[in-house]
C-alpha cells in the first residue's frame, strides 16, 4: 500500500520543517499586493510587458533533457543521488494508489462501512474501531507483492555506489523486499515491519501481527489491553524521527535528485524537492508533471517547485510509467541489461520462496517524532 494524497499542514513554528512548505508559500503569496497581481494577470492576457527583460541564468545541465541527466550522472560531479518515491513505483506490482478513479484504494473502501474513506487511516477512528484497518491490512500485507523495476533500479543505484538515500511515501515495504539496505531507506510514512501497542508502546515484530491478522483477529498487547498497530503513520500522527534526522544531513550533500511516481502534493514530503542545492539537477519520472512552480511565484522570483518548461536550467521530466522510465534511464546509463537480469533473478527467487521472507532488519526509529502528518 502506498501513500499519495492531498497535502496536510505542518507546524510552521518548527525550525526543522523543510523550507518552502505549502503553508509558507501561501503566506508569501498573500503578501503580494493587489497591484502586483493586476500586473501579472495583465501580462498573461498580453496587455502588459515587463519594463526590463528577465535576467538569464546559466544552465546547470549541458542539455536540459534526459540526455543531459545521463551525462551528469556519468560524470564525476554525480556522487550522491537521493531518490524520492510515491505510489507510482508500486502500482505495477498490483498495489493500488489512494485516489485514482475506479482503481484507487479510497474508491474501493465502501465494503468497510466507513463514515468516510480516509477514516480507515485516522488514529481516533482506529482507537474506536480497529477492525476495518486490519481487514484491509490482510489484503495488502507485505509479502503478497513483488518489487517492481523501479524498486530494483534504486537498488542498482546503491550497488553502483551512487545512492545516498531513498525517501519513500509508501508503506508497502517493497524497497526492503528489493534488497535496498535499511540504512539507505527513510520510510517517511512509516512501515508494516514494526508495530507498537498504542497504549504502552511495547514493540512487536512483523511475524507477531501477521498470524493474528490472517486469523481475522485484532492483535492485542501482551503487556496491557492495548491494540498493537503497525508503525504506519495515520492521519493525526507524527512522522518518524528518522525522517527528520536524515533530511537534515542528506539534502545539502545531494548532487542528483530523482523523483519517481509521486504527485508531490503531500506535505512535508513534497517540499523535499526544494531542499537540494540550487545547482543540483532534478529528474521527475512520473505519469504526469507534478510539483511545478506556479507562474505567479516565478514572476516574482520566488523559489519552490520544479520548473518543467523551456526556461528550465536543471529540471527534467520523463513522462510515462515509472518502470518504463527507470528502464530507459538504465539503458542510457549502460545498465539496462544488468537491471533486467537483476529483476528476473530476484523475482525467480521470490517465486521459489513463495513470499518476501525476512528481508534485512528494519531501522527501529519510530518514536519521538516532531513533525506531524495530517494526511498519508
SS3 237: strand
The lowest-confidence range among 114-123, 314-323, 340-349 is 114-123
| pLDDT of 67 higher than 50 | yes
The confidence score (pLDDT) of residue 141 equals 75
The lowest-confidence range among 152-166, 174-188, 327-341 is 174-188
The confidence score (pLDDT) of residue 351 equals 85
Question: CB–CB of 314/281 below 8 Å?
Answer: yes
Continuous segment of H or E residues that includes residue 337: helix 336-353
Q: What gap in Å lies between CA 241 and CA 188, rounded to an integer?
A: 9
Per-residue pLDDT of 176-196, as tens digits, reads 999 999 999 999 998 888 899
| pLDDT of 300 higher than 70 | no
Q: What is the mean pLDDT of residues 295-309?
A: 68
Residue with more model confidence, 352 or 84: 84
Residues contacting residue 333 through CB under 8 Å, at least 6 positions apart: 70, 73, 74
Q: What is the mean pLDDT of residues 211-215?
A: 90
pLDDT band per the 50, 70, 90 thresholds, residue 173: confident
The lowest-confidence range among 115-124, 152-161, 352-361 is 352-361
Sheet holding 228-232, edge to edge: 203-205, 190-197, 228-232
Question: CB–CB of 169/86 below 8 Å?
Answer: yes
As annotated, the binding site includes: 197, 200, 221, 224
What distance lies between CA 322 and its chain's CA centroid?
Answer: 13
What is the distance in angstroms between the CA of the first residue and the CA of the last residue of the chain? Answer: 11
| pLDDT of 104 higher than 80 | no
As annotated, the binding site for Zn(2+) includes: 197, 200, 221, 224
Query: Is 189 one of the annotated active-site residues of the chain?
Result: yes
Q: What gap in Å lies between CA 135 and CA 166, rounded to an integer?
A: 30
Show the domains of the chain with their CATH numbers.
58-94+148-189+242-355 (3.40.50.1220), 96-144+191-232 (3.30.1600.10)
CA-based nearest residue to 164, from 276, 80, 101, 38: 80
Q: What is the mean pLDDT of residues 198-204?
A: 95
| pLDDT of 24 higher than 60 | no
Residue with more model confidence, 78 or 304: 78
pLDDT band per the 50, 70, 90 thresholds, residue 297: low
- Residue of 151, 158, 166, 189 marked active site: 189
Question: CB–CB of 8/238 below 8 Å?
Answer: no
Per-residue pLDDT of 35-66, as tens digits, reads 444 454 455 455 545 444 444 457 899 999 99
pLDDT band per the 50, 70, 90 thresholds, residue 358: very low
With pLDDT > 70 as the criterion, what percentage of the chain qualifies? 71
Amino acid at each position: 500500500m502506498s501513500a499519495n494524497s492531498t497535502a496536510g499542514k505542518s507546524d510552521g513554528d518548527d525550525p526543522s520543517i523543510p523550507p518552502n512548505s505549502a503553508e509558507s508559500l501561501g503566506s508569501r503569496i498573500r503578501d503580494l499586493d493587489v497591484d502586483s497581481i493586476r500586473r501579472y494577470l495583465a501580462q498573461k492576457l498580453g496587455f502588459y510587458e515587463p519594463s526590463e527583460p528577465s535576467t538569464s541564468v546559466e544552465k546547470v545541465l549541458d542539455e536540459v533533457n534526459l540526455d543531459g541527466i545521463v551525462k551528469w550522472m556519468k560524470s564525476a560531479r554525480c556522487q550522491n543521488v537521493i531518490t524520492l518515491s510515491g505510489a507510482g513505483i508500486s502500482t505495477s506490482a498490483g498495489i493500488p494508489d489512494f485516489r485514482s478513479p475506479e482503481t484507487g484504494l479510497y474508491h474501493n473502501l465502501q465494503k468497510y462501512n466507513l463514515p468516510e474513506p480516509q477514516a480507515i487511516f485516522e488514529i481516533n477512528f482506529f482507537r474506536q474501531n480497529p477492525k476495518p484497518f486490519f481487514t484491509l491490512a490482510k489484503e495488502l500485507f507485505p509479502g503478497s507483492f513483488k518489487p517492481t523495476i523501479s524498486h530494483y533500479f534504486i537498488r542498482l543505484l546503491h550497488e553502483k555506489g551512487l545512492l545516498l538515500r531513498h525517501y519513500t511515501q509508501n508503506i508497502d515495504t517493497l524497497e526492503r523486499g528489493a534488497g535496498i539496505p535499511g540504512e539507505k531507506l527513510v520510510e517517511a510514512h512509516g512501515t508494516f515491519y514494526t508495530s507498537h501497542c498504542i497504549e504502552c508502546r511495547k514493540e512487536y515484530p512483523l511475524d507477531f501481527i501477521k498470524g493474528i491478522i490472517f486469523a481475522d483477529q485484532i492483535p492485542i498487547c501482551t503487556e496491557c489491553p492495548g491494540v498493537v498497530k503497525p508503525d504506519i503513520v495515520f492521519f493525526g500522527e507524527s512522522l518518524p524521527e528518522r525522517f527528520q534526522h536524515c533530511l537534515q544531513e542528506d539534502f545539502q550533500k545531494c548532487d542528483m535528485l530523482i523523483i519517481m511516481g509521486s504527485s508531490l502534493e503531500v506535505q512535508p514530503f513534497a517540499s523535499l524537492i526544494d531542499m537540494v542545492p540550487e545547482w543540483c539537477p532534478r529528474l521527475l519520472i512520473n505519469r504526469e508533471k507534478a510539483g511545478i512552480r506556479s507562474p505567479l511565484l516565478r514572476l516574482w522570483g520566488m523559489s519552490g517547485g520544479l520548473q518543467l518548461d523551456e526556461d528550465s536550467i536543471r529540471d527534467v521530466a520523463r513522462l510515462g510509467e515509472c518502470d518504463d522510465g527507470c528502464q530507459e534511464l538504465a539503458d542510457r546509463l549502460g545498465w539496462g541489461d544488468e537491471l533486467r537480469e537483476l529483476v528476473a533473478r530476484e523475482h525467480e527467487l521470490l517465486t521459489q520462496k513463495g513470499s518476501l521472507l525476512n528481508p534485512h532488519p528494519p531501522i527501529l526509529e519510530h518514536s519521538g517524532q516532531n513533525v506531524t502528518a495530517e494526511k498519508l
